[in-house]
Amino acid sequence: MHEQVTPSLVLARYPHGEADLRVTLFTRELGKLTATAISGRKLTSKLSPHLGEGSVSAVRVIEQRGTRVADALTVKSGVRTLEECLLLDRVLPEHVHEPGIWDLATARTIDWVRVLSALGWDPRHGHCHRCQGDPAVFVVRSQDFLCADHASGITFGAGEVVSLQLHG
C-alpha cells in the first residue's frame, strides 16, 4: 500500500510524541492497522475531530516513514461504544484482512458470537475452560470461555470480556 482511501472504524487513539496522535483503525480493505496523525493533538488539528473512537471515517492512509493518516472525514459518529472499540481492538489481528468482519463490526449491534466465530473462537462449539459447561463469556486475555457460574465470581474491566448470547 502506498496510498489508499478507505472507510475506517476508529478503535483507539493515543498520544504519540509531543503533538502527534496514534490511531488504531479497522478498515474493510486492510484489516486493523495503526497509523500516525501528524500534529493530531494540536488544538488546530484538522484530523483529530474526524478520528474519534467509535466513528466511521473516510481515511486516506499513506506509507511514508511508517503508516500515516493524511486526511480523514467523519462519515458517521457514534457507531460503536468505547468498550466495543476496546474489545474489537483486542480481538482483531493486525494487518489481517478478515472478509465479513467489517459488516459485523459496523452493523447496528455487534453479534459477538459471529465475530468470535469468524476469528476462530466459535462459542457454539466451545465450553467453559473450568467445567466444560456452556459458555457465557469469552475472556479476551486468556482466550478462554467461562460459564455463567465461573464468570460470576470474577471482576472484569472494560474491554476484558465479551458477554455471549447464544441463540438456539
State pLDDT tens for residues 107-138. 999 999 999 999 999 999 999 999 999 999 99
> What pTM does this model have?
0.89
Kindly report, residue by residue over 26-59, the tens digit of the pLDDT. 998 899 999 999 999 998 999 999 999 999 999 9
Chain centroid to Cα 76, Å, comes to 16
Interatomic CA distance for residues 22 and 111, integer angstroms: 28
Domain with CATH 2.40.50.140 in the chain: 3-76
Task: Identify the H or E element spanning 115.
Answer: helix 112-118
Q: Which residues contact 24 (CB under 8 A, 6 or more apart)?
A: 10, 11, 12, 13, 32, 33, 34, 89
CATH: 2.40.50.140, 3.40.225.10, 2.60.120.460, 3.20.20.70. Which one for 3-76?
Answer: 2.40.50.140
